[in-house]
Structure 1
Amino acid sequence: MTSDVSAFIKSNEFLDAIRKRRSIYALDKDVKASKEEITATIQEAIKLAPSAFNSQSARAIILFGKESEKLWGEGGIVEKAIRKVLPEGQSFDSTAKKLASFNAGVGTILFFEDRSVVEGLQKQFPLYADNFPVWSEHSTGIAQFAVWSALADINVGASLQHYNPLIDEDVRDTFDVPASWKLRAQMPFGNIAEAAGPKEFQPISERVRILG
């Protein structure tokens, strides 16, 4: 890459935000952004995230404080679900530490896809019926990435977790989730107490081909 092109890439604010997005596991509650600013950032990112047929099927619930603790806290939803399937004799210690690290943040985003939207599109466009569930997964991934990057841009750390479907039923009951919303991911967030380590990349020449 020439120096001119390298400088051009480094000046791209969008790419800079993506560079800042990392899986942050060391969280605390000392965030500089306000609850309102964090909420608005999440809402705007989900609003702007593209989706197939402009379906806008992504849904989210933002949990702050005690509500987030219901998910990650000691004796909370995730711990109870994991203990039910934990093989006899296997230690829970490492999992407990992981859950405690999520609980140390200020909140959690629960990401869902609205199946009623997907089913409606399947009926409206039967030719593509088999594709809409796949495109729905694309949509939630894009929404998650958009939120994750937007939070990083305001110096709020996060990571993406997938304890679904183990926790689906308890999440639905605890947070009054509509029946058509399917849980896809959980994103604990908070202040970055410790930055992520260096990230290794595969050679981009092996991942992207250029023709012409």
Structure 2
Amino acid sequence: MGKDFIAAVKDRRTYYGISKENVVSDERIKEIVQEAVKYTPSAFNSQSARVVVLLGAEHDKLWNITKETLRKIVPAENFGATEEKMNSFGSGYGTVLFFEDQSVVQNLMQQFEAYKDNFPIWSEQSSGMLQYVVWTALETEGFGASLQHYNPLIDEAVQQTWKIPNEWKLRAQMPFGKPTAQPGEKQFQPLDERVKFFS
């Protein structure tokens, strides 16, 4: 990677304007995701993260499923904005689906009774870290991405379409592609109200 870590952290933003133009090979995308899954930490080294990468027609299929699912619940007079948003996600190159394997979480809850209430929380924290690692890694390669949460509305259709095990719980969807528009300026709250430092 050409950027140092903090530069990559600063540059990672939410991109809604993305295109189907690729910026690196599919093999490189696979490598990024696999390395992120392998090296992102998890509680008790549980490795509960599961990921599905959809490219090309499979990516298009996801956002068509999401659009048609939302069409059933969003009033027709309000659906135009929803359809536009789905089309913007679908205009990207691919989507990363993030899951957490609940069988792993349940097994840990049974093995470590004293911590059982924490394992679902730790699973979510680990998933969030993985999402951030993948997002930032894609950004360093020249992709723009955003993080979406249409679960649980699309869970059943996703499981059926891509034969996803029932134990995998969908946590987020990350459409990505070559940026076609820059995100707006980001506003920040004062750091002295958010960070305490003692020495």
For the pair 1:199 / 2:186, whether they are aligned, the reply is: yes
Q: CA deviation at 1:93?
A: 0.6
The aligned counterpart of 1:51 is 42
Taking the aligned partners of 2:179 and 2:37, their CA distance within structure 1 comes to 22
The aligned counterpart of 2:20 is 29
Structure 1 residue identity aligned to 2:48: S
Structure 2 residue identity aligned to 1:127: A
Taking the aligned partners of 2:132 and 2:162, their CA distance within structure 1 comes to 23
Alignment of 1:141-160 (within 5 A): 141-160=128-147
Taking the aligned partners of 1:78 and 1:30, their CA distance within structure 2 comes to 22
Q: CA deviation at 1:90?
A: 3.2
Alignment of 1:85-164 (within 5 A): 85-87=73-75, 89-164=76-151
For the pair 1:77 / 2:57, whether they are aligned, the reply is: no
Structure 2 residue identity aligned to 1:43: Q
CA-to-aligned-CA distance 1:171-207 (integer Å, 9 cap, x gap): 0000110110000000001101112121111111110
Taking the aligned partners of 1:178 and 1:36, their CA distance within structure 2 comes to 25
Taking the aligned partners of 1:32 and 1:112, their CA distance within structure 2 comes to 26
SS of 1:184 mapped into structure 2 = strand
Taking the aligned partners of 1:200 and 1:94, their CA distance within structure 2 comes to 25
Normalising to structure 2: TM-score of the pair? 0.96
For the pair 1:60 / 2:48, whether they are aligned, the reply is: no
- Greater gyration radius: 1
Which of the residues 4, 7, 22 maps onto 1:13?
4
Structure 1 alignment gaps of length 5 or more: 1-11
Instruction: Judge which range, 189-198 or 165-174, deviates more.
Output: 189-198
Q: CA deviation at 1:65?
A: 0.5
Taking the aligned partners of 2:69 and 2:136, their CA distance within structure 1 comes to 29
Taking the aligned partners of 1:171 and 1:33, their CA distance within structure 2 comes to 26
Taking the aligned partners of 2:143 and 2:68, their CA distance within structure 1 comes to 28
Aligned length: 197
Which consecutive segments of 4 or more residues in structure 1 shift more than 2 A?
Answer: none
Taking the aligned partners of 1:115 and 1:19, their CA distance within structure 2 comes to 33
Taking the aligned partners of 2:84 and 2:30, their CA distance within structure 1 comes to 27
Taking the aligned partners of 2:86 and 2:67, their CA distance within structure 1 comes to 8
Taking the aligned partners of 2:29 and 2:121, their CA distance within structure 1 comes to 29
Q: CA deviation at 1:80?
A: 1.9
Q: CA deviation at 1:91?
A: 2.0
